[in-house]
Structure 1
């Protein structure tokens, strides 16, 4: 049985895959050649594997009594979130602090952005403060790439519009790998509001890169035009799409991004596209369930499934801190004197 399912969410430090327990070290972990992490697009399979290797070590570190590794001591990390976030922002904050960074959470609600300052001016202002790493979430696709061109420090994309959310895809891959022993050859279904989901896009890119067979499932109104060109199988019938799946990844309805009627009603949506025990039974008997959060219980997933034995949802949260530690440490190797 793979280690993640055997040990549970808060097991003692482990020896993954028969390896000795290691601390996070840039000398041991494979090199990561990029100055920023702006998306999964543009990363090679070795790049992804390097980050996952670091993240495995970060899990072990996080399960120890002493959780700190001061590779970012004396460094400044700014978390700049233009959209509300609980999991991602707190996860990046904890990751930075565990690595010894001075972490500042910038409140956009009380910032000059609310007074009409442009993103470019905000970037110039932050750059003048000489931070080492900026973690950015923005409602517009491509905004993080623009900011990265205007600052001298490392930039991490914490989600830009419906474009990408690279650390979510990495933590999902880490969770799958630790519970299934690998990703190559698995069938993964991504179900729900694919149209508005940056999580879906990043996961499609990453899972394809690691050799999974990816399916997307949803009503035609919530599937992007031409999504099959990303190398996925497309299903509008959830029951058909779930057959033979190893992993079922649910997505929430992003009603805040909808300016029209995409589904007849929440009740109808759950009837056809909500994951319950009857639909999950169509997947493989050992299928596992994931959700990036926040969940809408009774909309895209039932409480029975969300809290059930096949759910990895809480474990995903733990893996999120580890992946973000891995990303921050990998980027730190490119900082001056890093």
Structure 2
């Protein structure tokens, strides 16, 4: 694995390898990287969890982090992303984690630049490390994804998380279903009624409504959305006894999930965030060890 830009890049065996390395890091295994590597995080969209999680992973791997602030970079002067990456290549960067609003931005980079590229999210397209931490959290809970029913609910058409998980979960034997308003399903086949799919779901993965991608058009009020597609307390009571709740965050309390459920016994939302550090450690180490 030389780069990670999409879950389509990974086979089921590679995903399992990442899960095992993630577990090893959680169990206290330390990095075996032989060389000192330099990394930079190029985030052209706002991020708390992904950016800080990558930085923590990099520190735990003893990487040298070169700060990058998109708000003060030459991209504001018209420099292309490719040229920015070539600059960082020239001064010695080994790994670049990039989040960008453009779908498939990485196509102009992979195979054309020396630093390894890890996709921290591209537009509405891909978010592979989020998918991996979701998968790890489910695997941690059940020991397998085979035959597990994963129901993803929300703004499907604008969700890179939904797309990455659609590609990956099926590879591991899970049954993946989508629930959303008809106007938000895009290319996906989806249920339009949430209550139809609650009782047999092993995992309910709630998604944020991405208003910033709706061109200012608001289809529902917060109250309407919560009533129709939110995980309410009443819906949580219909879940299987062993069912769990996931959310890639940021979450909007009282919209896609009732505030009381964010930290309830079923919720693994903050566990996902914790797991993200170890998943990203595993991805970075696997890529760099392949270069040693």
Same fold judged by TM-score > 0.5?
yes
CA distance in 2, matches of 1:279, 1:72: 51
Root mean square deviation, CA, Å: 1.4
Q: Which residue of 2 aligns with 1:317?
A: 273
Answering whether residue 134 of structure 2 is matched by residue 134 of structure 1, we say: no
- Note the alpha carbon deviations across 1:232-268, whole angstroms, 9 max, x for none: xx21000012231000000001111111535231211
Q: Which residue of 2 aligns with 1:272?
A: 228
Q: Which residue of 1 aligns with 2:214?
A: 258
Q: Which residue of 2 aligns with 1:169?
A: 131
Answering whether residue 19 of structure 2 is matched by residue 87 of structure 1, we say: no
TM-score by length of 2: 0.96
Q: Secondary structure at the match of 1:54?
A: helix
CA distance in 1, matches of 2:287, 2:209: 33
Q: Residue 211 of structure 2 contacts residue 218 of structure 2 at CA under 8 Å; is this kept in 1?
A: no
Q: Residue 133 of structure 1 contacts residue 155 of structure 1 at CA under 8 Å; is this kept in 2?
A: yes
Q: CA deviation at 1:43?
A: 1.4
- Indicate how the Cα distance of structure 1 residues 276 and 72 shifts in structure 2: closer, same or farther if over 3 A, else same: farther
Q: Secondary structure at the match of 1:176?
A: helix
Q: Which residue of 1 aligns with 2:239?
A: 283
Q: Residue 221 of structure 1 contacts residue 262 of structure 1 at CA under 8 Å; is this kept in 2?
A: no
Q: Secondary structure at the match of 2:65?
A: strand
CA distance in 1, matches of 2:107, 2:67: 20
Q: CA deviation at 1:323?
A: 0.2
Q: Which residue of 2 aligns with 1:38?
A: 5
CA distance in 2, matches of 1:217, 1:143: 28
Q: Which has the higher contact order (CA 8 A, sep 6+)?
A: 2
1:235 equivalent among 191, 194, 197: 191
Q: Secondary structure at the match of 2:150?
A: strand
TM-score by length of 1: 0.83
1:326 equivalent among 257, 276, 282: 282
Q: List runs of 5+ in structure 2 lacking aligned partners.
A: none
CA distance in 2, matches of 1:283, 1:223: 23
Q: Secondary structure at the match of 1:177?
A: helix
Answering whether residue 121 of structure 2 is matched by residue 159 of structure 1, we say: yes
- Note the alpha carbon deviations across 1:119-171, whole angstroms, 9 max, x for none: 12112211111211111111111102322233112110110011010000100
CA distance in 1, matches of 2:43, 2:80: 15
Q: Secondary structure at the match of 1:179?
A: helix
Q: Residue 100 of structure 2 contacts residue 121 of structure 2 at CA under 8 Å; is this kept in 1?
A: yes
1:303 equivalent among 241, 255, 259: 259
Q: Which residue of 1 aligns with 2:39?
A: 77
Q: Residue 183 of structure 1 contacts residue 211 of structure 1 at CA under 8 Å; is this kept in 2?
A: yes
Q: CA deviation at 1:276?
A: 1.2
Answering whether residue 142 of structure 2 is matched by residue 186 of structure 1, we say: no
Q: How many aligned positions are there?
A: 292
- Note the alpha carbon deviations across 1:102-133, whole angstroms, 9 max, x for none: 01231100110112111121122111112111
Moved over 4 A (4+): none
CA distance in 2, matches of 1:82, 1:72: 31
CA distance in 1, matches of 2:67, 2:207: 27
